[in-house]
Chains A and B, each alone.
Chain A
Amino acid sequence: MTRAPGGEPVLAVRDLRVTYRTGAGPVRAVKGVSLVLPPGRVLGLVGESGSGKSTVALAVMAALESEAEVTGEVRFRGENLIGKPERELRRLWGRRLAMVFQDPTSTLNPVLTVGDQLVEVLVEHEGRGPAEARARMLELFAAVQLPNPAEIARRYPHQLSGGQQQRVSIATALACKPALLVLDEPTTGLDVTTEARILDLVDSLRQRTAAGILYITHNLGVIARLADEVAVMYAGEIAEQGPVGAVFARPRHPYTVALLDCLPRIDRPPATRLLPAIEGTLPDPRAEVCACQFAPRCALAQERCRGEHPGWFETAPGQGARCFYWERVPPPGTVRAPALAKPRGRASTRPVPLLEVVDLVHHYRQAGGLTAMLGRAPIVRAVDRVSLGVVPAETLAVVGESGSGKTTIARCVTGVLQPTAGEIKVDGRPVPRRPAARPRKLRRRLQIVFQNPDLTLNPRRTILEAVARPLRLFGLVDRRTRRSAAARLLEAVGLEPRYLDLFPAQLSGGQRQRVAIARAFACRPDLVVCDEPTSALDVSVQATVLNLLASLQAREHTSYLFISHDLSVVRHIANRVVVLYLGRICEAGPTEEVFAPPWHPYTEVLLSAVPSLSATSVTGTIRLEGPAPNPAVLPSGCPFHPRCPRKLGPICEREMPPLVTTDRGHAIACHIPRADLLRLQTAAPVPVS
């Protein structure tokens, strides 16, 4: 734990413990955390859900509910905040101590203009008059690079994009020049290009202000990009802490190594192996701590780890880990997970597509009811003439940001939505648009795994009922055999039969997603549409689910239409990739072709936006400017031209560029010739190897 030359730390947390009193006994959320944050530095607090990182954030703000029992010290410039009455805290909150939350949509008040929500802070703390406060508000909005601050200030939160909302929140937090800024997952849920620009903003802030920044996230790439120091949390404790470069290069806690290893990497060629997943689950937070908490999931665990709680070991100057055997911890990248059974590329030798989408169009009116009847609602062109094909046993990834139409394509394929025009073929034969008109056999062959298993598993049905339902529906089992059949399906996704009689709420998020996958695979489908199947999951769980999908594919020769916004996951799992922007394909081809230059300028922007782990890669070279895309107002010509960093000229505004395909199956829709793109993109430093 270093102390910067800056002097007195803004924040010093010592042996912080937070216990929630619940009906089921005390839940220990934070179990002895110590942190030091000097002014002008960024401390990254990283952990998965349940690690206690958000509880630490709230404890630092002294904002925990009264049900929480807090002990230890949270010293803000030497002053202990724990036990301070709210009346005194109110003088610090928003003025000296400010916080930016995850999901700006829900942290801005929907019924007040965003300008007023900032002005009230200035009025409260600095006693400014309305005119003076307004002038300062406009300054602050300009400082966070909101376009046209006066116009933005009059708007309500729902009239802003997610990125703009988060800029407003950041401006509000900065209003009174706080000494400590707590950022709790400020970019989670934002599109990757928006995230990149918010991270740029935080980066520039850290150079401009003297505030200490506590940055909480689950994303190791963000930490690598922004933080000076990192603290890795596991089960309410700090597993490891130290300077970011040192910790990521040579972690000394097995959990840190496992976290780094289980990440699909955008800067590495597609895996020929499974991801080294972290098996097992977090320990019960109600249990007394009397052993290493990571031991049950640790490959290096010894007898001692299971019987004694490890203390804090100084592994290098300014770096420490909570592990008895930190000297034996191998560097990241040395764990060899089992090889992927499936021979990759095999798919391309089979020319007959299982699924074909031909010139798919889906338009709808933005508003229903009376407005639509009066013909006033704008038409949204969610998907505009998209064609793609999936051959047996391959994974086709459809990539894009919100509003790109990727989910609409998935829904048209599964029949949830009816296309406005175009055709969907299976085995070369057109299928009816409405699911009810599709033959039973066809419905069996097309299944879906949704993003959020919490919303798609009926909370009042047991796992047995959920998994056996499709079996019964398609007449594959009868009452006597359904239990054993369901048990076999659970086994295939790595769950024991005892889960059959549990309800979804009794399972963890990863286990629920496995149940959802078991349900999709119950009737041996030929194609499974995976709609962001891992984006609601922690990275360690994501690895397990991706491995599961890969091994099921190897065994069953299932094809995946894999919808995702995460380029790292896509690079890991997909054979071919389609990149969508505003409902149109801008680039498509085999994964390796798409991830290597030349790129469509939009793909280039996407790739450079991903916060990457590797220290050598150069990110932040290209950023997306201009207004957020709105599918209701399609630009003329190339839909990407208003934001394109490599726009050629008037032709981009006039003509939609054709999708030009090379003999290697790589297609780009851009007016810039391939050779020029390649030259432009290899001249500049690029984020991928």
Chain B
Amino acid sequence: MRVFVFVGRRLLLLALVMAIVSVLIFGIVQILPGDVAVMILGTSATPADLASLRQKLGLDRPAALRYADWVGDAIRGEWGTSLLYQVPVRPLVLERLGKSAVLALVALAVAVPLAIALGVLSTLRRNHFLDQAVGLVTLVAVSVPEFITGTVLILVLGLQFGLLPPSSLIDPRASLWSIAPSLVLPTLTLVLALLAHMTRMTRASMLDVLEKPYIRAARLKGLRPRVVILRHALRNALLPTVGIVAINVGFLIGGIVVVETVFAYPGLGRLMVDAVNHRDVPVIQMAALVIALTYALANLAADVVYAYLDPRIRY
């Protein structure tokens, strides 16, 4: 019951956040260099043509009115038409969001358990070979830019040995199962990029928790090490990791343009970059709004998980 009240209240707050974000997005798009009318008609267009197009698009109206129209339309589900692709924005953005979500979920499903396992193992073998090896490998993995890891993976696994499809030119109608092989390389690249931070955070907070008096008390109750580590320590140590996972969700949905580009993966990030390059204002605005919403929802989910993990946290 209390959790519903909490989530309900947080959803109200989320609406407030989205309102502020929408103003910011709209404002930034307004000050982007370049003129939409010029983009559409080309530099050779006559001033008269430009003016009439501006009037047709409503660009001559006050910004506040245009903002209100945009928000109203967005809420009603009328997201407009892409200037670049000349297709409705909504299916375009949602289709790309789906693709991004699949890749993000697969990457997290691999990276999160792996990072937690590696982090815990590092603390148990603190300063021994395994700990140092994990620290070194994850650090190298995060230090190398994704376009290099991605390219190397394509060269080795995709082209040299031909084990996996090197790119992800996916047929939009293909089933999830049939596209699975083409997800492997991008997932691997992302996991390498995500692993270091989460592993290090888990390791650091495990080390911190293992020093706590209640861990010593648990040991001196004669509990087996497995119980002490998993039941008493890990649950307390997971909180910071959960926060990082939430931030990573947003990042994976909208911020992995480089990986998407290397693997020609049709994600939301690439759509956004293409739209910016071509001043495709309707797409920019809606893609940005969707990415912001993902961030906000991921953080809301993290807060619920926090409260589940630690009963002292009540909102």
- State whether the Cβ of A95 lies closer than 8 Å to any Cβ in chain B: yes
User: Residues of B contacting A93 with CB < 8 Å?
Assistant: 219-222
Tell me which residues across on chain A come within 8 A of B13, comparing CB atoms.
370
* Chain A contacts with B in 105-138, Cβ cutoff 8 A: 106-112, 120-121, 124-125
Q: Are B232 and A94 in contact (CB under 8 A)?
A: no
Among residues 1 to 56 in chain B, which have CB atoms less than 8 Å away from a CB atom of chain A? 9, 13
Complex contacts, B232 vs chain A, CB 8 Å: 109, 112
B75 to chain A, nearest CB (A): 24
Determine the chain B residues whose CB is within 8 A of the CB of A94 once the complex forms: 220-223
CB contacts (< 8 Å) of A95 on chain B: these are: 222
List B residues 218-247 near A (Cβ within 8 Å).
Answer: 218-224, 227, 231-232, 235-236
CB atoms of A124 and B219 under 8 A apart: no
Given A107-B214, A111-B236, also A120-B315 (CB < 8 A) = no
Q: Are B222 and A92 in contact (CB under 8 A)?
A: yes
Contact B217–A110 (Cβ < 8 Å): no
Q: Mark A151-174, 1 if CB is under 8 A from B, else 0.
A: 000001010000000000100100
**Residue A648 at the B interface, CB < 8 A?**
no
The stretch that binds A, out of B66-74, B199-207, B306-314, is: B306-314
Cβ contact within 8 Å between A371 and B311: no
Q: How many A-B residue pairs have CB under 8 A?
A: 77
Query: Which chain A residues border B9 with CB–CB below 8 Å?
Result: 370, 374
Q: Evaluate contact between B224 and A90: CB separation under 8 angstroms.
A: yes
Which of B214, B220, B222, B224 interacts with A109 by CB under 8 Å? B214
The answer to whether B125 has its CB under 8 Å from any CB of chain A is no
Q: Which A residues are in CB contact (< 8 Å) with B221? A: 93-94, 98, 120-121, 124, 172
Q: Determine the residue in chain B with the shortest Cβ distance to A113.
A: B311
Kindly list chain A residues whose C-beta atoms are within 8 Å of the C-beta of B231.
112, 120
**Cβ contacts under 8 Å, B222 to chain A:** 89-95, 121, 124-125
Interface string of A80-97 (1 = CB under 8 A from B): 000000000111111100
Residues of B within 8 A of A103 (CB): 213
By beta carbon, the residue of chain A nearest B235 is A111
Residue of B nearest to A96 (CB): B222
**Residue contact A63 to B236, C-beta cutoff 8 Å:** no
CB–CB B214/A110 < 8 A = yes
A99 at the interface (CB under 8 A from B): yes
B123 to chain A, nearest CB (A): 15
The answer to whether A158 and B312 touch across the interface, beta carbons within 8 angstroms, is yes
A109 x B312 contact (CB < 8 A): no
Once the chains bind, are A124 and B311 in contact (CB under 8 Å)? no
For the complex formed, measure the closest distance between the CB of B225 and the CB atoms of chain A, giving whole angstroms: 8
Q: Are B214 and A120 in contact (CB under 8 A)?
A: no
Q: Assess the B315–A370 pair: CB atoms within 8 A.
A: yes
| Cα distance, A156 to B312, chains bound together (Å) | 8
Q: Determine how close the nearest CB of chain B comes to the CB of A165; give it in whole angstroms.
A: 11
Return B14 CB to nearest CB of chain A, in Å. Answer: 12
Given contacts A90-B224, A94-B220, A110-B236, contact A371 B212 (CB under 8 A): no
Complex Cα gap A172–B217 (Å)? 10
Residues from chain B with a CB closer than 8 A to the CB of A91 are: 222
Report Cα–Cα, A109/B220, bound state, in Å. Answer: 13
Write the chain B residue with the least CB distance to A156.
Answer: B311
Most buried by B among A61, A93, A95, A111: A111
Q: How far in angstroms is the closest Cβ of chain A from B308?
A: 10
Whether A76 sits at the interface, judged by CB under 8 Å, is no
Instruction: Find the residue from A90, A99, A172 having the highest chain B CB count within 10 A.
Output: A90
Which residue, A90, A98, A109, has most C-beta atoms of chain B within 10 A?
Answer: A109
- Name the one of B219, B224, B311 contacting A110, with C-beta atoms under 8 angstroms: B311
Minimum CB–CB distance from B228 to chain A (whole Å) comes to 10
**Interface range for A:** 20 to 34
B217 touches A63 (CB 8 A): no
Number of interface residues of B (CB under 8 A): 24
CB pair B315 A371 closer than 8 Å = yes
Closest chain-A Cβ to B257's Cβ sits at a distance in Å of 36
How far does the alpha carbon of A420 sit from the alpha carbon of B224 in the complex, in Å? Answer: 53
- Decide if A63 touches B223 in the complex (CB within 8 Å): no
Q: Which residue of B lies closest to A374 (CB)?
A: B9
B-side contacts of A89, CB under 8 Å: 222
Contact pattern, A 43-76, Cβ under 8 Å of B = 1, otherwise 0: 0000000000000000001010000000000000
A101 at the interface (CB under 8 A from B): yes
Return chain B residues, CB-CB under 8 Å to A109.
214, 217-218, 232, 236
Nearest residue, chain A, Cβ from B238 = A111
Query: A125-B222, A370-B13 are known contacts. Are A101 and B213 too (CB-CB below 8 A)?
Result: yes
Q: With A124-B222, A370-B13 as known contacts, state yes or no: A101 contacts B217, CB within 8 Å.
A: yes
Nearest CB on B from A141, distance (A)? 16
B315 to chain A, nearest CB (A): 7
Contact in complex: A108, B219 (CB < 8 Å): no
Chain A residue numbers with a CB within 8 Å of B216 are 63, 101, 107
Contact with B224, one of A63, A101, A124, A370 (Cβ below 8 angstroms): A124
**Inside 8 A of B311's CB, which chain A residues have their CB?**
110-111, 156, 158
With a CB–CB cut-off of 8 A, which chain B residues contact A172?
221
List the B side residues contacting A98 at CB < 8 Å.
220-221
Q: From the candidates A99, A111, A371, name the one contacting B309 in the complex (CB within 8 A).
A: A111
Question: A63–B13 Cα gap in the complex (Å)?
Answer: 49
With most chain A CB atoms within 10 A of its CB, the pick from B13, B223, B227, B236 is B223
CB < 8 Å: which of B214, B219, B310 contacts A106?
Answer: B214
Which one of B212, B219, B227, B309 contacts A63 once the chains associate, using CB atoms below 8 Å? B219
Q: How far is the CA of A106 from the CA of B209 in the complex (A)?
A: 11
Contact bitstring A507-540, B, C-beta under 8 A = 1, else 0: 0000000000000000000000000000000000
Chain A contacts for B235, CB-based, 8 A: 111
CB within 8 Å for A107 and B219 given contacts A120-B227, A124-B224, A124-B227:
no
Question: Is B220 in contact with A111, judged by CB distance below 8 angstroms?
Answer: no
In chain B between 280 and 315, which residues have their CB closer than 8 angstroms to a CB of chain A? 309-312, 315
Q: In the complex, are the beta carbons of B214 and A108 less than 8 A apart?
A: yes
In the complex, are the beta carbons of B315 and A106 less than 8 A apart?
no
Q: How far is the CB of B266 from chain A (nearest CB, A)?
A: 40
In the bound complex, residues from chain B placing their C-beta under 8 Å from that of A169 are: 217
Are A124 and B223 also in contact (CB < 8 A) when A101-B217, A106-B214, A156-B311 are? yes
Q: Which residue of B lies closest to A65 (CB)?
A: B216
**CB of A167, distance to nearest CB on chain B (Å):** 15
A61-B220 CB under 8 A given contacts A106-B212, A106-B214, A111-B235: yes
Give chain B residues whose Cβ lies under 8 Å from the Cβ of A112. Answer: 231-232
Docked pose: A634 CA to B33 CA in angstroms: 63
Residues of B contacting A92 with CB < 8 Å? Answer: 222
Question: Which A517-566 residues sit within 8 Å CB-CB of chain B?
Answer: none
Q: Shortest Cβ distance from A84 into chain B, in angstroms? A: 13
On chain A, the residues within 8 Å of B212 by CB distance are 106
Q: How many angstroms from the CA of A618 to the CA of B218 in the assembled complex?
A: 38
- CB contacts (< 8 Å) of B236 on chain A: these are 109-111
Q: Within 8 Å CB of A125, what residues of B?
A: 222
Residues of A within 8 A of B219 (CB): 63, 93
Q: In angstroms, how far is the closest chain A Cβ from the Cβ of B7? A: 13
- Which residues of the partner chain A approach B227 to less than 8 Å between Cβ atoms? 120, 124
Measured CA separation A103–B216 after assembly (Å): 13
Q: Within the assembled complex, what's the spacing in Å between the Cα atoms of A125 and B223?
A: 8
- Alpha-carbon separation in the docked complex, A158 to B178 (Å): 51
Q: Which residue of B lies closest to A100 (CB)?
A: B217
The residue of chain A having its C-beta at the shortest distance from the C-beta of B216 within the complex is: A63
What are 27 inter-chain pairs, A to B, with CB distance below 8 A?
A: A61-B220, A89-B222, A90-B222, A90-B224, A93-B220, A93-B221, A93-B222, A99-B217, A101-B216, A101-B217, A106-B214, A107-B213, A107-B216, A110-B214, A111-B235, A111-B236, A111-B309, A111-B310, A112-B232, A120-B221, A120-B223, A124-B223, A124-B224, A169-B217, A172-B221, A370-B13, A374-B9
Q: Which 3 A-B pairs have the closest CB atoms?
A: A94-B222, A93-B222, A94-B221
Extra pairs beyond A63-B216, A124-B223 (19, CB < 8 Å): A61-B220, A63-B220, A89-B222, A90-B223, A92-B222, A93-B220, A93-B222, A94-B222, A99-B217, A101-B217, A103-B213, A106-B213, A109-B214, A109-B218, A110-B236, A111-B236, A120-B221, A169-B217, A370-B13
